[in-house]
Structure 1
């Protein structure tokens, strides 16, 4: 047994945590191992700008509604976030992304969501980031503004009353900001769930429309929040432009009918996003990877809603946007979908692979255009073989069959055929809920795929047995 003095701690931390001999979740050279198959792409490192992921499995941002709503610690992360996010890092994920964090105080989804609009919030983020990185993972943060979906309560609060709700408005006494919920458009007709004032089931506030001056200020706030993230030691930044939050609201003709330079044409509707990307990119080091999450479709095609508003945001729009991103400094496109209107024609909790197929379609379009942009696949990725095949050459052909949505299936298959059926569907996988069920999911996937990976030093005695 090695003497205790050889149990070295991670340097530059104010507390002791052992320095793992090999970073958990990375394949280990072992000539005695019975695992002889080639290492799948899923467990190969990936370098993006100045950062290297130890494998291709990323913890996607997950709202936890667990920060203070009042007082000096409002919006600041807590030890709860070290306990949860840190455990995902300890168990082998390559990048752990902190949940949607408001670039302005009124940009939070709920009063209990984190933010990064104030320098006072930097130390708490640094504490979380430092622990994540001490376990060999990269730390990330998703910067966001909730727009008209802001000032709501935690879901378990909404569902606990006499009238059960999916969403419940946060009043001022709960830390909310009823009078300062904003969006591209204003008025009662813009309430997200379509309900009216006085309806006991209404779950959202009526927003007020942002002025051009407020938009310009907010763009600067994105850049300032990004600078704070870098100061806190965060490795990767993601811009949240999906799920019906503010940037998505500007992208879609369903929610953006402005008549100034931020509304109308495709170029005008993407203007806010382009300005945010530009501001964030110039506010962070060249070595810092910049991700973007979008809703690739609103699932409103061919609906009365789309007809009423002259269209919706579609996969074709996402492809058009994606082709602009490399020149703007985006390194990875995180492909999600939905969330901008309650009338969407899909249940996201039942859509196990549609987003992945759309990711493949976008990736193929970029390949055909000779453009380089990493693509992330997200959405109910739960199985080892599923995660492996998304990233493998030829894996697309295996996955693209038997889908319930014939049109998505047809278009995705056509996209894959354009690249001779050999291209992967994505470059990384982002996993959320499965990590909440199984924090050790990376280690379990490696075991199921027959990949010999390093385990955390403290957990070696309970390592999965050899297959």
Structure 2
């Protein structure tokens, strides 16, 4: 199955067993090493798990080539002392049957998360009225070129099968290449010929320190978004042709820069279409004649296979897909696609957690909503317990279903009770808008998994103490979720709750709709109604709306709202709901329908806390929050039960 995807490919002296590439993804796991920049055993286990899962090429995350600009929490190969750690990683991956690539990186402005790291930028960059980062000097540019070569030499000694030069995402090589960023007037700036010089010299330096039969990859933006004077695809094609002459073999086609909202394309959330780089990659491939692989929300084997069948690429980047499921490739190759846990582009565990980890020491590394054991493969991997246990689960939302599936996988007997007529809970509402179809697909698939696994399910059932006494479970998992919160204000009975709108249990009358609450649910309700030709006003009491979304989803939400008949009023504290208007901060907002979207409150679980049964409270009934936490709660409850 998926013959193209799992066809071997020869690149110089390296043969890959298939066309699937796990591209570099920052994990922040190196922060747990002695100096905060080294390989750890957890990082090795993480890569080995994906090799054993069938992946073709593992790319090690962005790795600093220059010591003064190497930030904490990112890997470094800027000194000889790092060779041994990478050799240990490579030996483990090779023993498991895989191949490795290291992404050689100079982070430019992105290293600013570490105040001790030197920021290198093409031009003077004011960061505050008191401080301006000076432009990189000519001497330092030459030094960095040499550092790329030295890093390549160390990577070869460490046993990597190929190398990748990072020339995208606003890092120094991309910044020097782009006319939207590089405004120098010396030999390194101005004309495109001058701007190409630095990255091409870096490539030459790397290639000079590699064996002739070792492949060199390059990550490059297909064009610049939202940057005046930025790279066009025509310029990128010209540059890639020059890079080919300098020794680059494979192009890893990406997009994004951290200077503008285009940063959302680097780790694109669910709101961005699947495979958004594929057509540009196909054009670059055709016009350069180079081996090419697109990245960007390619999360199913069917889609990846079609890209290859349509002759639009030579390899396919499937990165977050393998965070969600380390065995993605093996399952796909065996045709067990229904067993794959698919990435849904929520960004909660990967990008959002990575950003938070830079400033919150309590967050050790990235995780994944669909795979709470990510980067804990050896320490917190799901394993059968010493004995099979009968476990009653109350609640058939995502937390309850996750617990049931994990219990079944580890040899237990889960019995799932849901008081409503169907499984899925509030997560079904998350897929109500078309842009989030991956959310709906995920919960639909979980429901199918529960059904096909043979798990005992009871719908329309409220479990009593007497029923539990009769069943005699070994453990109880309570996942009864949360309920919409209604503001205790005058006229609140005139409002309908957002959950009933998204589930289409109620009809929203009239053209003008006022939504109270500008968080995630309020936004999704606004988008849902705007798509149905309603004029929507969102009232948010805080100074900013959408604060419960991650940074990239905030960007896509703002874009969506700007293109729809949606008005957002912030610092608007709702006082009352009259017969025809919502009164907020002294101003009236007329309505035909008014909707309450001010969050949820955890359902009461006190009745289950003193039954003499080991009991685990998980998901929204523990604390109303994000789906990432619900999956994590359920996963850890199963780990405890299996002890």
Does the alignment reach a TM-score above 0.5? yes
How many Å separate the matches in 1 of 2:79 and 2:45?
A: 24
Mapping for residues 170-319 of structure 1, pairs under 5 Å: 170-171=114-115, 176-177=116-117, 180-188=118-126, 191=127, 196=128, 207-300=133-226, 305-306=227-228, 311-319=229-237
The change in CA–CA distance for 1:351 and 1:106 in structure 2 (over 3 A counts) is farther
- What is the aligned partner in structure 2 of residue 92 from structure 1? 54
* 2:342 counterpart of 1:428: no
Pick one of 355, 371, 380 that aligns with 2:277.
Answer: 355
The alignment partner of 2:29 has SS state of: coil
* 2:330 counterpart of 1:443: yes
The change in CA–CA distance for 1:235 and 1:70 in structure 2 (over 3 A counts) is closer
- What is the aligned partner in structure 2 of residue 380 from structure 1? 297
Contact 2:109 2:171 in 1 (8 A): yes
Pick one of 91, 101, 111 that aligns with 1:140.
Answer: 101
- What is the aligned partner in structure 2 of residue 405 from structure 1? none
Q: 1:430 offset after TM fit, Å? A: 1.3
Contact 2:292 2:314 in 1 (8 A): yes
RCO higher in structure (CA 8 A, sep ≥6)? 1
Contact 2:61 2:103 in 1 (8 A): yes
Q: 1:345 offset after TM fit, Å? A: 9.2
Q: 1:346 offset after TM fit, Å? A: 6.6
- What is the aligned partner in structure 2 of residue 408 from structure 1? none
How many Å separate the matches in 1 of 2:7 and 2:75?
A: 32
Contact 1:50 1:288 in 2 (8 A): yes
Contact 1:298 1:340 in 2 (8 A): no
The alignment partner of 1:324 has SS state of: helix
Structure 2 residue runs without a partner (length 5+): 338-408, 410-451, 453-643
The change in CA–CA distance for 1:43 and 1:101 in structure 2 (over 3 A counts) is same
Contact 1:69 1:111 in 2 (8 A): no
Q: 1:344 offset after TM fit, Å? A: 3.1
How many Å separate the matches in 2 of 1:390 and 1:268?
A: 35
- What is the aligned partner in structure 1 of residue 3 from structure 2? 40
Q: 1:197 offset after TM fit, Å? A: 5.4
Contact 1:148 1:207 in 2 (8 A): no
The alignment partner of 1:344 has SS state of: helix
How many Å separate the matches in 2 of 1:50 and 1:97?
A: 17
Which one has the bigger strand percentage? 2
Q: Aligned residues, how many?
A: 338
How many Å separate the matches in 2 of 1:88 and 1:69?
A: 21
Q: 1:323 offset after TM fit, Å? A: 1.9
The alignment partner of 2:219 has SS state of: strand
How many Å separate the matches in 2 of 1:206 and 1:135?
A: 48
- What is the aligned partner in structure 2 of residue 400 from structure 1? none
**Residues 211-267 of structure 1, C-alpha deviations (whole Å, 9 max, x = no match):** 111111111110000000000001110000111111111111121111111101111
* 2:277 counterpart of 1:339: no
* 2:41 counterpart of 1:79: yes
How many Å separate the matches in 2 of 1:299 and 1:49?
A: 33
Q: 1:448 offset after TM fit, Å? A: 3.2
Q: 1:442 offset after TM fit, Å? A: 0.6
The alignment partner of 1:183 has SS state of: coil
The alignment partner of 1:84 has SS state of: helix
Contact 2:123 2:182 in 1 (8 A): yes
How many Å separate the matches in 2 of 1:425 and 1:449?
A: 25
The change in CA–CA distance for 1:206 and 1:70 in structure 2 (over 3 A counts) is farther
The alignment partner of 1:237 has SS state of: strand
Q: 1:354 offset after TM fit, Å? A: 2.1
How many Å separate the matches in 2 of 1:281 and 1:319?
A: 20
Q: CA RMSD in A?
A: 2.5
Structure 1 residue runs without a partner (length 5+): 1-36, 153-169, 199-204, 367-371, 396-423, 451-461
The alignment partner of 1:299 has SS state of: coil
How many Å separate the matches in 2 of 1:238 and 1:440?
A: 24
**Residues 390-424 of structure 1, C-alpha deviations (whole Å, 9 max, x = no match):** 111xx2xxxxxxxxxxxxxxxxxxxxxxxxxxxx1
**Residues 21-76 of structure 1, C-alpha deviations (whole Å, 9 max, x = no match):** xxxxxxxxxxxxxxxx7x622111101111100000011101011224885x4421
Pick one of 280, 286, 289 that aligns with 1:364.
Answer: 286
- Superposition TM-score, scaled by structure 2 size: 0.50
How many Å separate the matches in 2 of 1:237 and 1:345?
A: 24
Pick one of 60, 68, 78 that aligns with 2:23.
Answer: 60
The alignment partner of 2:60 has SS state of: strand
**Residues 107-129 of structure 1, C-alpha deviations (whole Å, 9 max, x = no match):** 44x41100101000000000111
